[in-house]
Amino acid sequence: MSRICSFSDNANRKLTRMKNKRRVLVTGGCGFIGANFVRLLHSRYSDWRVVNLDKLTYAGNLKNLEGISEGSEYRFVRGDICDKNLISRLFAEECFDTVVHFAAESHVDRSITGPGTFVRTNIEGTFTLLEAARKSGFAGNAEEGAPPCFLHVSTDEVYGSLGQTGYFTENTAYDPRSPYSASKASSDHLARAYFHTYGLPVRITNCSNNYGPFQFPEKLIPLVFNNALNNKALPVYGDGKNVRDWLYVLDHCEAIVEVLEKGQDGQCYNIGGNNEKQNIEVVTLICDLLDKKLGLAESGQPRRSLIDFVPDRLGHDRRYAIDATKIREQLGWEPRVNFAEGMERTVEWYLANQPWVIDIVNGSYQKYYAEMYRL
């Protein structure tokens, strides 16, 4: 099969190219889901070459990938997905046949106070990657048995908000309602357009709320865990009855691998935990787990006493619920970790990794790579 990429004449690179079964660009691999995904690939697919491109925004943390060293199977590149020259150079150098695109601004509350970076990273960044993939002819790089794939990782939030009944299917009309979900919806449309117009082998996944190790403590579960551990108020927006469909992060990562290996170009796959919970149920579960493991709060009260109902998020989507029939029936994927087990594992992980959380809360995790990259 002819290759269009222009490798440098570096002998080691040529060797790597022949040896590695897939050559994968992962964007945002230092974030929550990206880091879990890179770790999964590293442990399971030792013959794949993974290049992790991450800007190391506030949400990116090199410590999430401690223990994975650079070599023929792994390379870290600090950079911005909006940087056209860098991206084109990487496609030329690395001869990718696979892209798994996680990099994004991901927190809804931040999109409400500062939507500009969401438009830039999520829309312009995705466009830059799609253009580079198209112009590099990356689909021609694939070896037999490893079909080329540009996998765009998206969210269930593009579908909008549900009432008390019903589920999001892959045919549900898009109805994004926050700057975050609008920017993700735009990027999904671009990705789909590149399949239809240019034949780029795009696949899209739309997943529900993830939880698990390495989640940045601005999101509900790690934030509540950390506050409950430190006897601080637990902010619950509105009446606490908004519903999310929670999925353990490794189940999401495994679903992505299934889509890479068995999915079809031009298709979207919903991924969900079939695990709807009201926010207040999630918060009380964390309180109870910590009471059981550590005893009552400093006040001598159960940690539920720290719950504080605060004003609602603007435009707060009421309910998300995924119908994951398609990925189950077509690709054989199902979540393996139920919520009780996943929360137990998550709480244990945060308890065992307190220095990781403390570094983030006091800002020193940024110094770690600021020194390394002279930021």
* # of chain residues touching ligand NAD (CB under 6 A): 30
Among ligand DAU, ligand NAD, none, the one that 272 touches (CB under a kind-dependent 5 to 8 A) is none
What is the contact surface with ligand DAU in residues (CB under 6 A)? 106-108, 155-157, 208-209, 219-220, 223, 235-237, 242, 244, 279, 313, 320
User: Least distance (Å) from ligand DAU to the CB of residue 173?
Assistant: 17
Q: For 117-121, which contacts have Cβ atoms below 8 Å and span 24 or more sequence positions?
A: 118/179, 118/180, 118/183, 119/179, 119/183, 120/82, 121/81, 121/82, 121/183
Is the separation of the CB atoms in 156 and 322 below 8 Å?
A: yes
User: Least distance (Å) from ligand NAD to the CB of residue 248?
Assistant: 11
* Chain centre to alpha carbon of residue 101: 9
* Chain centre to alpha carbon of residue 176: 18
Among residues 139 and 224, whose Cβ is nearest to ligand DAU? 224
Give me the 95-134 binding string for ligand NAD, x by CB under 6 A, dash otherwise.
-------xxxxx--------------x---x---------
CA–CA separation, 256 and 207 (whole Å): 10
To the query of whether residue 348 is one of the catalytic residues in this protein, the response is: no
Number of H helices and E strands in the chain, helices first, is 14, 13
Among residues 153 and 287, whose Cβ is nearest to ligand NAD? 153
Report if residue 52 touches ligand NAD, rule: CB under 6 A. Answer: no
Among residues 2 and 113, whose Cβ is nearest to ligand DAU? 113
To the query of whether residue 156 is one of the catalytic residues in this protein, the response is: yes
Q: Which residues contact 162 (CB under 8 A, 6 or more apart)?
A: 168, 318, 319, 320, 321
CA–CA separation, 350 and 356 (whole Å): 8
Q: Which residues is 61 bridged to in the sheet?
A: none
CA–CA separation, 230 and 176 (whole Å): 35
228 closest CA partner among 307, 346, 345 = 307
What six digits make up the tokens of 247?
């999925």
User: Least distance (Å) from ligand DAU to the CB of residue 162?
Assistant: 12
Q: Which of 180, 211, 269, 369 is catalytic?
A: 180
Contacts with ligand NAD in 176-215 (CB under 6 A)?
184, 207, 209-210
Instruction: Give start and end residues of each alpha helix (H) in 53-208.
Output: 84-94, 108-113, 116-118, 126-136, 179-198
Q: Which of 5, 16, 31, 127 forms a contact with ligand NAD (CB under 6 A)?
A: 31
26 closest CA partner among 261, 333, 253 = 253
Among residues 146 and 185, whose Cβ is nearest to ligand NAD? 185
Report if residue 59 touches ligand NAD, rule: CB under 6 A. Answer: yes
Q: Which of 5, 30, 228, 287 forms a contact with ligand NAD (CB under 6 A)?
A: 30
Of 40-48, 52-60, 220-228, 285-293, which part binds ligand NAD (CB under 6 A)? 52-60
Which residue shows structure tokens 């650079």? 70
Q: Which of 73, 80, 97, 156 is catalytic?
A: 156
Among ligand DAU, ligand NAD, none, the one that 75 touches (CB under a kind-dependent 5 to 8 A) is none
Residues identified as active-site: 156-157, 180
- By the criterion CB under 6 A, which residues form the site for ligand NAD? 27-28, 30-34, 54-57, 59-60, 80-82, 102-106, 121, 125, 153, 155, 184, 207, 209-210, 216
